Amino acid sequence: MSTASDRPVIGFVGLGHMGGAMAARLLGAGYEVHGTSRTRARAEELIAAGLRWVDGADQLAKTADVLITSIPDDAALQLVADSITPALSGGQVWIDMSTVSPQASREVADRVLAAGAEFLDAPVSGSVPQVRAGTLTIMVGGDETAYHRVEAVLGELGRPTYIGGNGQGLALKLGINISLAVQVLAMAEGLLLAERSGVDRELALRVMTASPIGSPMLQAREPLLLDLPDEAWFDIRLMQKDLVLALETGRTLAVPLPTATSADEILTLARALGYERRDIAGVFEVLQRLSRH
């Protein structure tokens, strides 16, 4: 199955925003990439760039050494697992780079291990620009030897770090995304307070992001907080999906998540006001609309 250069053949499932960009990067790095997704039309550019299309994830389990999935949620992961797992011949490593619940991921890991293959959760922090630049933060859970077998592949996409057993990459990813939501919300609150006190919004933002609370993420979002674009970098719907996964995990482990709970409520409100597909910086406009003018 390996290519002449002895690099593993990659089988990709889910060629959307993230998966499509990852497959393109691996093709660009010289890997042989086979792939499938729900909608073939979305993959035409990749096929033109050399991706070998197959009909169905089960086909990939027969031709690829390393399977990579980048799919929306637990339900999609279970569907794909139903297709892939019976077709595994053993020895392959399946890397799931989706953001799903640690519990669903561990359940799939058990099935894959029972079929004689390896399963790693490898969720990412960063978006399409970071995939293209190869600078994703990648947190990996699962067997450490299996991780080392695919470290070079993950290294093409970003900076992978081995975290621990199955589900632990995801637990850390959910932890990071609590801060993503809460930081944006706290910044929006402070900014509105300053603006309604008469401070110019642009000036307030510049000083706030240059102050000790200006994380790299908040610094990058400065233009979006000034003028919310139509095209999201990371939309409110996906942000809430991750917060809900964190809240469910917190409930299971009896870990209170008070700021994640507040942020979740504001995201529900944002969706009710029509901001579902807008960037998370849209919480500033939501608070503006709720406050006295």
Rounded to 5°, angle at Cα 46 from 43 and 49? 155
Q: How far apart are CA 13 and CA 119, in angstroms?
A: 14
Angstrom distance (rounded) from CA 49 to CA 23: 10
When asked if residue 17 is in the footprint of ligand NAP (CB under 6 A), the reply is: yes
The answer to whether residue 76 forms part of the interface with ligand NAP (CB under 6 A) is: yes
Residue 21 Cα distances to 8, 27, 98, 101, 204, angstroms: 19, 10, 14, 23, 35
**Residue 193 Cβ vs ligand NAP, minimum distance, rounded to whole Å:** 29
Q: List residues with catalytic annotation.
A: 173
d(CA 128, CA 3): 27
Residues 226-245 that bind ligand NAP (CB under 6 A): 234, 238
- On the 0-12 / 13-18 / 19+ scale of CB atoms within 10 A, 58 is middle
| Residue 63 engages ligand NAP in binding (rule: CB under 6 A) | no
Q: What is the spatial distance between Cα 283 and Cα 253, in angstroms, rounded to a whole number?
A: 29
Residue from the set 2, 44, 49, 79 that interacts with ligand NAP by CB under 6 A: 79
Min separation Cβ 58 and ligand NAP, Å? 11
Query: Per CB under 6 A, does 80 bind ligand NAP?
Result: yes
Residues 19-58 that bind ligand NAP (CB under 6 A): 19, 37-39, 42
Smallest distance, Å, CB 234 to ligand NAP? 5
Interface residue with ligand NAP, options 8, 11, 14, 169 (CB under 6 A): 14
**Four-CA torsion 143, 130, 77, 142, nearest 10 degrees:** 10
Residues between 152 and 211 that touch ligand NAP (CB under 6 A): none
- Write down the residue that tokens 């006295």 correspond to: 292
Instruction: Considering the complex, state which of residue 99 and residue 105 has its C-beta at the smaller distance from ligand NAP.
Output: 99
Residue 71 binds ligand NAP (CB under 6 A): yes
Q: Residues interacting with ligand NAP, by CB under 6 A?
A: 13-19, 37-39, 42, 70-72, 76, 79-80, 98-99, 124, 127, 234, 238
